[in-house]
Amino acid sequence: MIGSVLSINNVPIRLTAERWAHIVESHDYMAGNQDIVFDTIENPEFIASGAEGESIAVGFESKTSISLKRAVVIYKEVETDGFIITSFLTSKSDRLRKRGVIWPK
């Protein structure tokens, strides 16, 4: 395990080495940005609902390797434990709002 942080529901959300490898392989610009992933879970701008019960945390990031973007972290909470599925940066967070915001800041 690389690390974990608490979600807004006080559930520990873990980031495993396997998931981090998946994230960096799919989105190479995320390399070195684990702090963005953890910060987005701890301090989201909003959280949208995913299609299969996952949470989609979105946070504004002014300091990324590819300009001003919103960080997106998709994770799953299961009672007292959770895990990160994937993460990426986007400039199109409005699409995520349309999924249904389940937690506004």
**Whole-angstrom distance, CA of residue 22 vs CA of residue 14:** 14
Residue 84 belongs to a domain: yes
Please calculate the CA angle 17-19-25 and round it to the nearest 5 degrees: 100
Residue 97 belongs to a domain: no
Residue 47 belongs to a domain: yes
What dihedral angle (degrees, nearest 10) is formed by the CA atoms of 27, 32, 34, 37?
-50
100: its two tokens: 């249904």
Least confident of 29-33, 45-49, 80-84: 29-33
- Per the structure, how many domains does the chain have? 1
Residue 37 belongs to a domain: yes
**For residue range 34-53, what is the model confidence (pLDDT) as tens digits?**
999 999 999 999 999 999 99
CB-hemisphere CA count at 13 Å for 29? 11
Residue 103 belongs to a domain: no
pLDDT of residue 60: 84
Residue 64 belongs to a domain: yes
Residue 14 belongs to a domain: yes
CB of 62 within 8 A of CB of 75? Answer: no
Residue 96 belongs to a domain: no
Section 56-74 average pLDDT: 81
pLDDT of residue 99: 87
pLDDT band at 63 (very low <50, low <70, confident <90, very high): low
Domain that holds residue 53: 3-90
